[in-house]
Chains A and B, each alone.
Chain A
C-alpha cells in the first residue's frame, strides 16, 4: 500500500478524504460526498461552467488548460451523443498522484465526472485507467457499482429525469495513450496513435461525438470547487492558477511522497522543507519540475520559483504533471538524460517520423556517448536532433522527448564534455548491465 505523507504546509482539498476509508460509498457520503453533484443538478449547466471558469481550475494532466473554458467549447446542440472521458492513463515518469486518488477517493472521480457530464449535456462518461493499475480498476469498478446501487448513476440520477452512466476501461500498457486523441483511439479499440487537430475533441471526439477529456486530478477537484465555491477555491492558489496541486516529490529527497500544496508554492521550500531536503545531506544538482518531459531546472533557478503553470513556464520549463524529481550532486546527468530518452524511444508510437526516428537516434547517440565513445560533434548533434523534433509531430510526445534533452545538453554541456576523450564519468554506472545497449 503506497505510503501517505503529511506536512503542515499542505492544504488538503483533493486529499481531504485520503486514509479515511472513503472508497466505501457510505463513508464518502458521510464526509459530504455527492452533495456537490446534487447542487449542480439543481443549478444547471450554465451555472456549473461559470463556477468552473471563476475557480481558475486548470488541467492537471500537464497542459494547464482552463477547465471551465474547455467545457464551454462543447456545442450545446449536437446530432451525436456527447461524452466525458477521464484520463487515468497516468504514465509520465515522476507522476503517481492519480494512483492515490483512485485508491483513496474513487467516488470523487465519479462525482466530478457526473458534474462534467451535467455541464456539457453528456449522458455517458468513461474512466480510463492504465493497465498496470488493475487493483485500482477493481476499486473504481466497485465504486461505480455502488453508485448505481444507490441510484446515483443510471437513467434517473438522484431521482431526477437526467440520465448519466459511467463505464470503466482498462488500458494495456502505453504511455502514448495518455495523449487525449490517442486515448480516444484506444477506447475505440484501436492502436493508440494520435489524431490530427483540429477538429478538437470538444467538437469531434470519442465515436465522433463532442467529448470533454480531463485528467483524474482535475475531475477529482471539481466537486470541491462546487462545495467550496469558486471564489474560495481560486483564493487558495496563485494568480490565474486556482486551488491546489498534488505534487509528487520523488528521487533524491529525504521524504518522498505526494503532497497537496497551494498552486504557486515555492519549489525550493517544497524540496527543503516539505521534502526534508536532499537525501543524505548531499547537494542539489538539478530538479525536474513536472514529470520527465519538463526541462530540468538548476538550483539557482528555483530560489524564488512559485510552482504554478505561468511561473514555471516563465522559468523555461513546465509545471506538467506535478511530478518533482530531485537529483543530487552525485548523479550523472548524461546517464539521467539517457534513461529519460530511452523511455520516450520505447513509448514513441511510431506514427510521426520526427518522433520515431528522433527518439531512436537520440537514444543511440546518448548510449554511445555515455559509454565513453562520444565525440565533440555528438553534443551539437544531440541538440540539433532534439531541436528538429520540436513542434513537428501530431502529438506532444515528440516535444516531450526533445524538451528535456535540450535542457540537459544546454544546462549541463560541461558534464557532457567531461565524458569525452575517455575521461571517466565520476558518477557513472557504465559497468552495469541492462542500461547500456549499444545497437
Chain B
C-alpha cells in the first residue's frame, strides 16, 4: 500500500471513477485550470479535458442546480464547493430539488450526484468560512452524508459515493488534506456507506466522533492512556446512513460515551446520537452522555479566541473524566 495524502486519495478516487464511467464529470469553482482551490482536482483537466472538468462561475446555487438537473437526466456530477460554507447558497437545490426528486416523482427521477468540499474550520478563517455544515445536510431524508477522516476512508468512500444512486454530501476538511496514510491502490477499493470504523479499541469509555475530530479524539485517547483510561474511538465515517450497531455495541461494552463534533451543539449530530443511545441502550449507561462541541458563538478571528471556541483535546479529556466520575 502506498502512503499518500488525503488530498491525493481524493484525487485518485476522482480520476479512477471518471475513467471508469463517462457520465461522471467534475464542476465547481477553480476545479479545472487552477487545479482546484485545494488542489484536489490537480491534473484532472489534463487527463479528462474541459468537457468533464469544468470551471464554473461563482454561482453556488446555479451550478448546484445545474448539477442536479444533469443528474436527473442521467449524468453523475461531482459538484465541488470550495467550502461547504458557500453551499448555504445552494441548499435549495440540494434539499428541495435533489433530495426530493425521487420521492415526488414516485421513483421516476433519480439524482446520483455528489456535492463535495471541505466543511468546518481551518485556521483563523473567521466567522463565515469556519462552519461545520453537517447538520444542515443530515437533517433531510433523501440526502446521504459522508465525513471521511483518513486518506483511505476518503478514497474508498468517495468512490462509493460517486457510485451511489442518491445525492451525497461528501464533507472533507481543509486541515485534513495534508494528512498522510496508507491507501490501497486497487481501482475497486470501496468502503461502503454506513459502516463506522473503530479507530482505537478500549473498554472504559467510548468517544464517538466524525471527520477531522477523529484525530482530536485519538490524541485525547493517547493522553487518557497515561491515566489508565482505555478509550474506544469510533469514527462514524458516514452520518446517513448511520452505523448504529457499532455505536450500540461499543456503548454496551464501555457503558459510557461522549460525542465529539466540530460544529455547534444545538440539534447537532451529537444530539441525534445521544437520542439513539438513550432510547436503545439506556440500561447499559452508567453516566449521562456528554457532548463536546464548538462554543455556541460564531467563529472568532483572533488566534486565542478561535482556540477557545474549537473543541480540543483538553475538552475531550475533561468530558471523559466526567462520564467516568473521575
Bound pair (A, B): no
Interface residues of A (CB under 8 A from B): none
Interface residues of B (CB under 8 A from A): none
